[in-house]
C-alpha cells in the first residue's frame, strides 16, 4: 500500500470528523439514551482513521498527542477525584448539611424569588453541583413557590440561576476545574477573574427577581417542605452548629492566601475527617466508606436522601472517564490540525479582543446545541482557542472565563442538552418555558461581553509570560 504523504488536515477532513462526532453523540445520547463516552470514542476512531490513512500520520504520533493532552488535564482530574472524597467526608461530618440547614433559614415570603436564588447559590457553592441542588432543594422550592401562585417556569428560572451561580464559582465544581485546565490557567485565578462578570450578573438578577416577586409578596407561604428538610437534618446529625462551617472557611482562606488547589482541598478532607469523629461520632469505617463510595442517606425523607446521597471517589469516575475520552479526541484533532483549521476559519473574521471572546462564546453555545453536552462545550472550544489566545497576547483566564460564561451557563438553555433534559426530568418544566426566566444564564454572557467592549479588566500576557511559554514549547520540542 502506497504511503500517504503527511500533511495537516483541511477544512473538509475537519468537517467530516465533526459531522461524525455530532451524529454519534446525537444517536448515542438522544436515541439510545447512553452517556457520551462511547460516542466520543467512536469519533476518536474516525479522526484517527482519517489521520492515518488520509493525512499520513502514524499511530504513534496520534497516541502521543492523546497522552500529552490528557497529561495537561491531570491536575484537574486529581482535583475532581479529591472533590469526591471531600464531599463524602463533609457530608458525614455534617458540614454540607449545616450549610444547607442554615441556608434554608433565610427563606422569607416577601422575597421568595430572591431567596430561592440565594438558597440555591449557597447549596450549590457547598456541594459544587447544580444538578444536586436543582434535584433536591430546587424541588422543595418549586412546591413552595407554586403554593404562592407563582408560575412554575418563573420559579424554575430562579432555581437555575442560583444553582448555576454556585456551580460556576465553587472550587468543588467539575466544570469550574475543567475550564482552567483546558485554557491553561489555575483554578483560583480562574474563579477570581470570573467574579468580575458573575457578581454584577447576580446583582442584576436579584433586582429583577425582587421586582417580579413583589407581585406575590402579600400571599401566604407553605414552608412545610422546608421545615421537613430542616427537622430531618437536625434529627439525623448530632449537631448542626455553625462551628461546622470552619472547614469551608479554612478552605476559602487557603484560596485567598494562594495555596495550590490540591493541597487546599486535602486540608479540607482532613478537617472533614476530624469533624466527623468529634462532632458526629462517626467511625473510621463510616468515614472511609463515604470518602470512597459516597455518603448514603437513609432518613426516609426523599428530598433529604437525594440531597445527601452523593460524593465519594467512585462517583467521580464517570466524570473523569468522560474527560479522558473527550481529551483523547481533542488530542487527535489537535495533532492532525483539525482544531487549527476550524479555529482559523472561525477566527478569520474575529477582530480584536471583543471579536475573539465573542467567537469563543458562540462556539461554546454552538457546541452545546450540536453536541448536547456541557463538558464538550468547555473541552472542545478550550482546546481550539488556547493557542490563539496566546498568539493574540491574551491571558488564559480570559479564555477560561469565556468558556464558563458561555459553555457552562448556556447548557441549561438547550432543551436537548443533557443539562436541559435533566432539568425537565427533575422539575418538569421545559427549557422552552423556563429559559426566559433563567436570568443569570442569559445575563452573565452579555455582561461578560459588555466588560470586554468597554475594555474593563482585560487580562493580557506580559512579555515575560509570552517568552516563558515560548521557551517551554522549545524545550518540549527538543525533548
In a domain? residue 257:
yes
Residue 65 lies in a domain: no
**pTM over the 0.75 mark:** no
Q: How far apart are CA 167 and CA 120, in angstroms?
A: 10
In a domain, 104, yes or no: yes
In-domain check, residue 61: no
pLDDT digits (tens, 9 = 90+) for 215-266: 876 655 566 777 888 899 999 999 999 999 899 888 878 866 778 878 988 9
> What is the chain's percent helix, strand, coil content, to nearest 5?
80, 0, 20
Please write the tens of the pLDDT for every residue from 10-28. 999 989 998 998 899 888 8
- What domain count does the chain have? 1
Answer whether residue 30 is part of any domain: no
The answer to whether residue 345 is domain-embedded is yes
Nearest Cα to Cα of residue 411 among 421, 402, 401: 421
Q: How many residues does the chain have?
A: 479
407-416 residues labelled b (16+ CB within 10 A) or e (exposed): bbbbbbbbbe
Q: Residue 457 gets which letter from DSSP? A: S
The answer as to whether 1 is a domain residue is: no
pLDDT score recorded for residue 466: 52
Task: Please state, in angstroms and rounded to a whole number, the distance separating the CA atoms of residues 172 and 178.
Answer: 11
Question: Average pLDDT by consecutive 10-residue portion of the chain (479 residues)?
Answer: 79 91 84 84 94 94 90 80 88 89 75 91 85 81 78 95 94 89 91 95 96 74 75 93 90 75 89 96 96 92 82 85 82 84 79 92 86 80 88 94 95 86 85 95 97 93 57 46
Q: What integer pLDDT is reported at residue 143 of this predicted model?
A: 76
Closest CA to 409 of 161, 124, 146: 161
Helix axis angle for 74-92 and 59-72, nearest 10°, is: 40
In this predicted structure, what is the pLDDT of residue 176?
Answer: 92
Please tell me the distance from the alpha carbon of residue 332 to that of residue 217, in angstroms, as a whole number.
56
Q: Where are the alpha helices (DSSP H) in 26-94?
A: 37-53, 59-72, 74-92
How many helical (H) and strand (E) elements, i.e. helices and strands, does the chain have?
A: 26, 0
- CA dihedral 408→410→414→417, nearest 10 degrees, is -10
Q: Which domain holds residue 92?
A: 71-479
Angle subtended at Cα 40 by Cα 30 and Cα 334, rounded to the nearest 5 degrees: 135
Give the number of other CB atoms < 10 A from CB of residue 75.
17
Residue 3 lies in a domain: no
Which pLDDT does position 475 carry in this prediction? 45
Amino acid at each position: 500500500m502506497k504511503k500517504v504523504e503527511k500533511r495537516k488536515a483541511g477544512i473538509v477532513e475537519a468537517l467530516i470528523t465533526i459531522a461524525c462526532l455530532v451524529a454519534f453523540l446525537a444517536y448515542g445520547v438522544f436515541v439510545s439514551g447512553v452517556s457520551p463516552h462511547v460516542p466520543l470514542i467512536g469519533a476518536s476512531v474516525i479522526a484517527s482513521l482519517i489521520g492515518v490513512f488520509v493525512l499520513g500520520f502514524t499511530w504513534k504520533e496520534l497516541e502521543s498527542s492523546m497522552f500529552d493532552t490528557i497529561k495537561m488535564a491531570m491536575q484537574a482530574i486529581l482535583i475532581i477525584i479529591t472533590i469526591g472524597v471531600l464531599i463524602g467526608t463533609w457530608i458525614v461530618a455534617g458540614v454540607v448539611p449545616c450549610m444547607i440547614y442554615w441556608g434554608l433559614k433565610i427563606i422569607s415570603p416577601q422575597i421568595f424569588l430572591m431567596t430561592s436564588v440565594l438558597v440555591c447559590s449557597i447549596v450549590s457553592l457547598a456541594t459544587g453541583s447544580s444538578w444536586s441542588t436543582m434535584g433536591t432543594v430546587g424541588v422543595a422550592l418549586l412546591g413552595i413557590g407554586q403554593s404562592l401562585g407563582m408560575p412554575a417556569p418563573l420559579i424554575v428560572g430562579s432555581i437555575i440561576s442560583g444553582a448555576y451561580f454556585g456551580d460556576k464559582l465553587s472550587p468543588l465544581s467539575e466544570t469550574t476545574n475543567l475550564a482552567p485546565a483546558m485554557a491553561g490557567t489555575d483554578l483560583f485565578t480562574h474563579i477570581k477573574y470570573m467574579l468580575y462578570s458573575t457578581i454584577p450578573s447576580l446583582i442584576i438578577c436579584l433586582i429583577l427577581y425582587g421586582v417580579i416577586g413583589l407581585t406575590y409578596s402579600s400571599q401566604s407561604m407553605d414552608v412545610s417542605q422546608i421545615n421537613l428538610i430542616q427537622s430531618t437534618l437536625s434529627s439525623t446529625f448530632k449537631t448542626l452548629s455553625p462551628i461546622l462551617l470552619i472547614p469551608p472557611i479554612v478552605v476559602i482562606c487557603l484560596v485567598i492566601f494562594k495555596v495550590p488547589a490540591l493541597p487546599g482541598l486535602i486540608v479540607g478532607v482532613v478537617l472533614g475527617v476530624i469533624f466527623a469523629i468529634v462532632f458526629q461520632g462517626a467511625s473510621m469505617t463510616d468515614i472511609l466508606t463515604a470518602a470512597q463510595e459516597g455518603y448514603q442517606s437513609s432518613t426516609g425523607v426523599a428530598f433529604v436522601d437525594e440531597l445527601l446521597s452523593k460524593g465519594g471517589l467512585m462517583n467521580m469516575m464517570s466524570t473523569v472517564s468522560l474527560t479522558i475520552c473527550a481529551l483523547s479526541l481533542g488530542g487527535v484533532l489537535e495533532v492532525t490540525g483539525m482544531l487549527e483549521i476550524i479555529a482559523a476559519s472561525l477566527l478569520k473574521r474575529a477582530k480584536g479582543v471583543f471579536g475573539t471572546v465573542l467567537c469563543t462564546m458562540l462556539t461554546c453555545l454552538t457546541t452545546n446545541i450540536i453536541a448536547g453536552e456541557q463538558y464538550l462545550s468547555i473541552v472542545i472550544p478550550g482546546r481550539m482557542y488556547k493557542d490563539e489566545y496566546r498568539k493574540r497576547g491574551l491571558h488564559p483566564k480570559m479564555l477560561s472565563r469565556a468558556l464558563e460564561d458561555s459553555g457552562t451557563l448556556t447548557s441549561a438553555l438547550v432543551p436537548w442538552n443533557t443539562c436541559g433534559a435533566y432539568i425537565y426530568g427533575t422539575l418538569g418544566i421545559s427549557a422552552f418555558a423556563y429559559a426566559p426566566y433563567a436570568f443569570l444564564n442569559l445575563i452573565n454572557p452579555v455582561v461578560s461581553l459588555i466588560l470586554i467592549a468597554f475594555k474593563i479588566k482585560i487580562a493580557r500576557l506580559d512579555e515575560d509570560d509570552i517568552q516563558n511559554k515560548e521557551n517551554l514549547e522549545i524545550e518540549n520540542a527538543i525533548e
